[in-house]
Structure 1
């Protein structure tokens, strides 16, 4: 072991029942490897003179320390003893339920500055890895994630995301000490050694490299040197465009600036380093309001949100004085040269990068042209996905917005093996994701068209709510697809709220292809579909879902039904063959037919496919799109195979209400003969189709009896009885 970096323990910090400092923020790891070995530093929120030895013992007792013994990985026993979690085994965490706590919004930029106060003190040590305590214990068989920081080098740039990432990754963060002068090639070799050790231990698992700005250059360099290792790169505003930075004229001024002035202009520092607060001076490099909004509840009234944000901004001002300590003048000049070298090196080897790459680019990044650079990398790299975030600045990971884990899930980048599996790699939505999607993004639609559901019990009685739908899977919900799938939002929402169940909707594969994205893709509704369980409709995916006892949402009418023409509302377009009945019977799944009514109450179809084909230029564009589109069914299967993809012309109406009717569950358990007998399969198929049509007819008739079908009547009711009061409907 080359060296050991101590852990300072403040005299005022006591130990809890596990003999652990209560304010400890991270753990220490050690990598074996002779003279090239590095020690992963563990530190405290404040300082002291107590120092750990290699075994993790100190003058005050056993520390929160994880030491590996030569292979760069943590021993399960040590993890169990030291992580301070009340978890007996991994099986508990494997049963992750919807609405789990991702911790997003509980940490802020102030916590970042508190965390780095001791990390920036000189210790004479080399670059090293550490794992934040907040990351907790990951799921079984989770891949490793290596965070490569920006110019600050502290490694704490993921502080807003530690808890969420720590559930699904073994997180390690690179710390580059303030006075370290390791050249770019040395840092690349250090990271590369860790990558190769991990790959040797787990050759079938991917290794994630999250590179923030300068860290993006490091990630690309490592990937170029290791094309045979399965790497997933997540590049956040990568500094590969440093040569085109808007700040190039400013750098010579920094070189000529005396030390005394450097200590008095943290505002200038905030303009050139990632985790900075540009609340004064040069606010363009990052968005201070986005930082101040991290822990501000979106449900608060506008005036209270503004007041809370103002308080947060005021609280951040005292931290400006510490910026010059985090990156003093000598370090700043060195790292600017390092950044120039890093950008040149990474750009020269882009052709050698074979890794899977996700580029996250901010629209308000005035340090480097991240938006243009993302598009350049997308064209230069062989396997690259891009997401733009127009309202964020260069300090994307420290600003209010969307959790990094949410982005990874939404872009289908999370996997535990060589290929992403939509079933085994699916992670249920967190509480924060649910609130963001259903209250902030589509809150208006949810309020205006609030759905109401009815279900059928085993004795045939119709009741309000979902009690007639089985809680235990496998369950196959088969129904009618409203235009553009607008019924999905209240349907998924209600299932999560009432039954705590994620509906796994099988959707058209075109939604999951890169060809369906625009040239400047934002994090869009298609990404949120993935987060809430959508996956491509294939026989293998349906097989996996039913075998895992999921609740599956299936629309046999597919795109033809969701993109129907004028006069075709509530008409089924199902194929002639019983495509799903045999699969359900194979797993003994319960089939629940259902109808959804409401599209004609919220929208008017003014331009269908036939109308659009009469418009010059537009008709050529539609034909070109469909020429390269994925076909789910061939032309021999009737009208349902006519899956012309297009965006219909729609006009909004004064909203009515969505209604759902779930028919009596149909058991297939014990009906395995359906697998062999085509006639029996067809009978069951026609029974399901007839039940769906019956549910639609029932709702179309009964909704006329709803005194609160109109949004105005529902709004008045809530105003009189309170916003949390459920609005009545017709009696079943």
Structure 2
């Protein structure tokens, strides 16, 4: 199964890292129902349909040209996205928040105080020009933090507005509504939305105070389908230094002044605050000094709005409100059954959010935790945080009772894809992958011109050690052919029997962003029915965690697991082989060795117990699904080779559905073709003058670092 081995790789930390001012209380968006493109690579707009590529072996491979055009198109879109968010600098999120808040506060002053807490729809989610909107989106209610303005998601409104129906809560500066009454306001809106759409979830996104409101409402309404997204919850208030401010604030003189330390505590993240501190101290910052100074100059006029948002009396009230909110929410955590995503900033200077995230994850049964190492308290105002990407990566987006990995899937944006591609940059440099494919007439060509343009298609192949071939394979197909391949993955990338030794689920967020789905017959059925391109490894974990001397040996089930379903939808089956793991590393301690060492045997048993068991009724080697990490020695890097065989048609072969013998014949044919692909590559790479990394580096030094390195003659 696709990406099963990425699981094992992550055991030893596979690291894949990661917006106009009008009156924000006005405006109600108008939605259009547009279906998301199946192979879209952009959340902003669908790409042009993929066209067939014809390749002549006598001429320069046009796929190379197509790949360059594809890269240029992606780069152009990335630049467009970067242009849209170019103001996301050190101060931009806070600056924008303060500017928009000032508009609201000025209006409240003109109207004599602002009135009672109320809901508004952000006007900057209205822009539907050139953008798709998710069909029948769920409601998202934003619950503000200590500021109460309701603009904490200002950097995310446009992207969130494409997949949610957003409303934000506004608590006027002069308002003194107690926590329990604020909770009833939210609860009333939740019940109203639930009555209107009882089959759809309701999202509650809360920061600090808002997170306590979300938890309280969820605890009181366990029968309503709620999804909570909590950023730095104030449930930790009793353990924070903020509580010490209450007696201090009562004796502070007016006006309350904000000095540099307080300003820095409001800045987006630790690294950015360090840069600001260095800047103000006059320390050199290499190439960033000019930009930071310009940012600070542009930001400075917005500072007076801080005192307007939180004057002394309001700040004192809000601190007391946090105290009561924290006590109320903590006393009812046991009653919270809602699906919950906790977002914790590890550099939060206002609340001990790092420790609180871990505590809540253990107390809330249906929860997941994501940590942000360099982020401050106001997480959503940081330019490097994309809430939509976080929701996609955690598979928290759904429009029904359960998340549907096909209908609820949102394809990666160019920026998201670029980040994933960058994580494989070193591997691509070290291995210079060679891609071959087969045209309909049987001609083998360099590039991926032989891959079918239209789905459904199932790519069936060999899983290299630790699934290390995955990144180059998926990214190259998307870059060169504009085809998003959905990998069938091991379920431990999505859920666990228990938390413990296995890598954190966050390790696999990028795989989910790129379309990985847990292995299940229903998911394969849905993907085929939607004419998707699917990546499947019948050998799964057993193949990717193979023993010493088992390179390029297939460990497939005795009976077909996919042929009859492929025939039902007339899907094309593309057999492929991947070679090169033995030129990158050598296994020195495999499962058979490790299981004989008591310490490692116990570790393997614990890891396997945490994982979701697969193929429990299978026989033979493929049934050996023990989770472990083989020890290996790296080699001087060789080269990766990929060969996609001639597509096998199942259209018109529906007899395979009922005839087990015929389906088994087709299954064995696919397996045989994969073995032929492997044999072909193993033989041909012997004549590749650039198989070793040294001649490849010399070639790049002469022709340019981005030059495509030649390979063997076909």
Q: Distance in 2 between matches of 1:368 and 1:522?
A: 24
Q: How does 1:409-488 map to 2 (within 5 A)?
A: 409-439=392-422, 441-488=423-470
Shift of residue 399, structure 1, vs aligned partner: 2.0
Which shows bigger deviation, 426-435 or 612-621?
A: 612-621
- Out of 201, 213, 216, the residue aligned to residue 218 of structure 1 is 213
| Deviation of 1:450 (Å) | 3.5
How far 1:310 moved relative to its partner? 5.6
User: 8 Å contact 1:105–1:160 — kept in the other structure?
Assistant: no
Distance, in Å, in 2 between the alignment partners of 1:616 and 1:638 is 25
Matched, 1:230 2:213: no
Distance in 1 between residues matched to 2:36 and 2:274, nearest whole Å: 36
Structure 1 residues 13-32: aligned runs within 5 Å: 23=20, 25=22
Separation in 1 of the partners of 2:38 and 2:308? 44
Q: CA deviation at 1:620?
A: 0.8
Aligned-partner Cα distance in 2 for 1:456–1:342: 64
Which of 607, 618, 621 is the aligned partner of 1:625? 607
1:183-228 CA distance string (max 9 Å, x none): 1122111111111111111000000001111110011111112111
1:299 corresponds to which residue? Answer: none
Matching residue of 1:239: 234
Cα offsets for 1:244-297 (capped at 9, x unmatched): 00343344333321113x1x324455477xxx238xxxx97x9536999xxxxx
Q: 1:507 to 1:495 in 2, by over 3 A?
A: same
Per the alignment, residue 577 of structure 2 pairs with 595
The equivalent residue for 1:405 is 388
Deviation at 1:233, TM superposition (A): 0.3
Write the distance in 2 (CA, Å) between the matches of 1:376 and 1:616: 33
Kindly indicate whether residue 681 of structure 2 is the aligned counterpart of residue 696 of structure 1.
no
CA shift, 1:536, in A, is 1.2
CA contact (8 A) 2:264 2:273 kept: no
Deviations 1:677-710 (A, max 9, x none): 1221121111111110111111112222333333
**Following TM superposition, by how much is the alpha carbon of 1:463 offset from its aligned partner in structure 2, in angstroms?**
0.8
Structure-2 change in CA distance of 1:317 and 1:541 (3 Å): same
> For the Cα contact (< 8 Å) 1:269–1:323, is it kept in 2?
no
CA distance in 2, matches of 1:704, 1:406: 43
Instruction: Assess, with a 3 A threshold, how the Cα gap between structure 1 residues 703 and 25 changes in structure 2: closer, same or farther.
Output: farther
The answer to whether structure 1 residue 265 and structure 2 residue 258 are counterparts is yes
Over aligned residue pairs, what C-alpha RMSD do you find? Answer: 2.6
Structure 1 residues 218, 270: closer, same or farther in 2, change over 3 A? farther
Aligned partners of 1:290 and 1:392 also within 8 Å:
no
CA contact 1:120–1:325 (8 Å) conserved in 2 = yes
State the Cα distance separating 1:400 from its structure 2 match.
4.1
Relative to structure 1, the CA distance from residue 104 to residue 564 in structure 2 (aligned partners, 3 Å threshold; closer, same or farther) is: farther
Match of 1:376 among 359, 368, 377: 359
Alpha carbons 2:43, 2:410 under 8 Å: kept: no
Which of 129, 141, 151 in structure 2 is aligned with 1:156? 151
2:56 paired residue number: none
Alignment deviations for residues 351-381 of structure 1 (CA, whole Å, 9 cap, x no partner): 2212111111121223211122122212222
Per the alignment, residue 100 of structure 2 pairs with 115
CA distance 1:373–1:212, change in 2 (3 Å): same
Q: Which residue of 655, 664, 669 maps to 2:637?
A: 655
Residue by residue over 1:555-599, the C-alpha shift from the partner in whole angstroms, topping out at 9 and shown as x without a partner, is 011110010011001111111101111110011000000001121
* Higher deviation after alignment, 472-481 or 251-260: 251-260
Sort the Cα spacing of 1:524 and 1:144 in 2 relative to 1 into closer, same or farther, 3 A: same
TM, length-normalised to structure 1 = 0.82
- 1:541-556 mapped onto 2 (5 Å cutoff): 541-556=523-538
The Cα of 1:96 is off from its aligned counterpart by: 7.4
Contact 2:493/2:505, CA 8 A, preserved across alignment: no
Determine if contact 1:291/1:399 at 8 Å carries over to the other structure.
no
Q: Matches of 2:660 and 2:438 in 1, distance apart?
A: 28
| 2: CA distance, partners of 1:682 / 1:227 | 49
Residues 1:256 and 2:256 aligned together: no
Is the 1:94–1:140 contact (alpha carbons within 8 Å) kept by the matching residues of 2? Answer: no
Match of 1:132 among 122, 127, 140: 122
Aligned counterpart in structure 1 of residue 197 of structure 2, from 187, 198, 202: 202
Aligned to 1:666: 648
- Structure 1 residues 589, 334: CA separation in 2 closer, same or farther (over 3 Å shift)? same
Q: Give the 3-state SS of the residue equivalent to 2:448 in structure 1.
A: coil
Asked if 2 retains the 8 angstrom alpha-carbon contact of 1:104 and 1:403, the reply is no
- Aligned partners of 1:719, 1:251: CA distance in 2, in Å? 65
Give the C-alpha shift of residue 437 in structure 1.
1.7
1:131–1:162 Cα change, 3 Å: same
Tell whether 2:41 aligns with 1:98. Answer: yes
- Separation of aligned partners in 2, 1:355 and 1:507: 26
Larger mean CA deviation between 340-349 and 103-112 belongs to 103-112
- Does structure 2 conserve the Cα–Cα contact (< 8 Å) formed by 1:210 and 1:216? yes
Question: 1:475, 1:552 within 8 Å by CA — same for their partners in 2?
Answer: yes
What TM-score, normalized to structure 2?
A: 0.84
Q: Which moved more, 1:370-379 or 1:336-345?
A: 370-379
1:277 pairs with one of 267, 274, 280: 267
- Distance (whole Å) between structure 2 residues aligned to residue 509 and residue 94 of structure 1: 26
In structure 2, the gaps of 5 or more residues are 1-18, 45-80, 278-284
Q: Distance in 2 between matches of 1:126 and 1:267?
A: 33
Conservation of the 8 A alpha-carbon contact between 2:39 and 2:483: no
2:501 matches 1:558? no
For 2:478, what is the secondary structure of its paired residue? helix
Aligned equivalents of 1:90 and 1:705: distance in 2? 55
Shift of 1:549: 0.6
Alignment check: 8 A CA contact 2:242 2:319 kept: no
Closer, same or farther: CA 711–149 of 1 in aligned 2, 3 Å: farther
Distance 1:164 1:106, change over 3 A: farther
